[in-house]
Amino acid sequence: MIANPKHVLRTAVGLCLGLCLGLWLSPATAAEPPVTSVAFTPNAKTVVACSQAGVRVYSWPELKHRATFRAAAVNLHDIAFSPSGNRLAVGGGTPTEDGSVEIFSWPAGKSLKVLGGQGNLVMGLTWLSDSSLAAASLDHSVTLWNPRTGALQRRLEGHSRGVCSLCFLPKEKILVSTGVDRSLRVWKPESGRLIRSLNIHTRRVHNLALRPGGEGLPMVASVSDDRSVRLWQPTIGRMVRFARLKSRPLDAEWLPDGSRVVVSCSDGHIRMVDPLTVQVTGDIPALPGWAYSLAVHPTDGSVVVAGQGGQLRRRILPKRAVDRR
């Protein structure tokens, strides 16, 4: 969901549109800024994407532009819907100066509150509940807010460099953070206590994704510039296994049944990784240039991939890539 801020500043020139047959393609052009985060709405009938152009809403699966919400910040990096689905959090800010989170009503798109005070860009968001929101910032901290009142609940400090992504384990009430310092840190957000730090990645980590389902120990996937997808059991501090890819993975989501991790990569491909064998069971060209973010549709077997030049593409996942063992 989150792009390297250095990568975000790059513009895509001369992108070739319409390369892959059978895809829905948004009418965005190469003159537009890269899409840094994309998500399905709670009813999965529309798509929301953020960039320097604002927060945009698209129809699904046609990916036709329907509406734009103007945010207080110019640089936007992540979006997240509340558990109840009636609010949308948008994180961003000004590089090296300030970070903020803006709360919008959904689906009206009315700005309700701006949560500020972080010393650098907000890169990642996750809701702990309807009354608690965590924001990861390049100022090395994670801030917990009450999005209803705007009250600061707690600040988690321990990363030595910027924090890029967050993942909340609701049953265990554990928060996992990661970022530029290559580590995963496991917290008890209610107390602010750091439980453990996991240090195996050799380059910055872009994103975290929690495996759906409640069987066994929770599993979290991390994707890094070291070209690896690593699978963790953060409750016991264990890295289970990892896959090495041909290209740097930038974002990750699980299929709804937890059978595969789907990652978007810097070569514009999406790849499907089997968590048991750590084999790549699908390698699918998605768009020209960097594929910064993706979201998996909960029921229709497809993904939306976001990238340079404001591109949004729909890709249908081949069934054989899911079934192959």
Using H for helix, E for strand and C for coil, what is the string for 216-253?
CCCCEEEEECCCEEEEEECCCCEEEEEEECCCCEEEEE
Handedness of CA 172, 216, 235, 164 (dihedral sign): negative
Q: Which pLDDT value is given to residue 14?
A: 28
pLDDT classification of 321: cutoffs 50, 70, 90:
low
Alpha helices by DSSP H, listed for the chain, are 5-8, 319-323
The size of the chain, in residues, is 325
In angstroms, the CA 58 to CA 173 distance is 33
Mean pLDDT computed over 116-130? 96
pLDDT digits (tens, 9 = 90+) for 196-209: 999 999 999 999 99
In angstroms, the CA 17 to CA 262 distance is 23
Mean pLDDT computed over 274-303? 97
Helices and strands, counts by H and E, the chain: 2, 27
Question: Taking Cα atoms as reference points, which of 200, 219, 319, 194 lies closest to residue 275?
Answer: 219
> Two tokens at 71?
């945010």
Residue 30: pLDDT above 70?
A: no
CB contact burial 108-125 (16+ within 10 A = b; e otherwise): eeeeebebeebebbbbbb
317: left (phi over 0), alpha (psi -120 to 50) or beta: beta
* Cβ–Cβ under 8 Å, residues 91 and 125: yes
In angstroms, the CA 131 to CA 178 distance is 23
Domain containing 176 equals 5-323
* Cβ–Cβ under 8 Å, residues 184 and 176: yes
Look at 1-10, 46-55, 232-241 and tell me which has the smallest mean pLDDT.
Answer: 1-10
Mean pLDDT computed over 121-149? 98
In angstroms, the CA 155 to CA 275 distance is 33
Distances (CA, A) of 228 to 130, 158, 200, 217, 323: 33, 24, 11, 21, 23
CATH number, domain of 184, equals 2.130.10.10
The number of folded domains in the chain is 1
Q: pLDDT exceeding 70 applies to what percent of the chain?
A: 89
Mean pLDDT computed over 238-262? 97
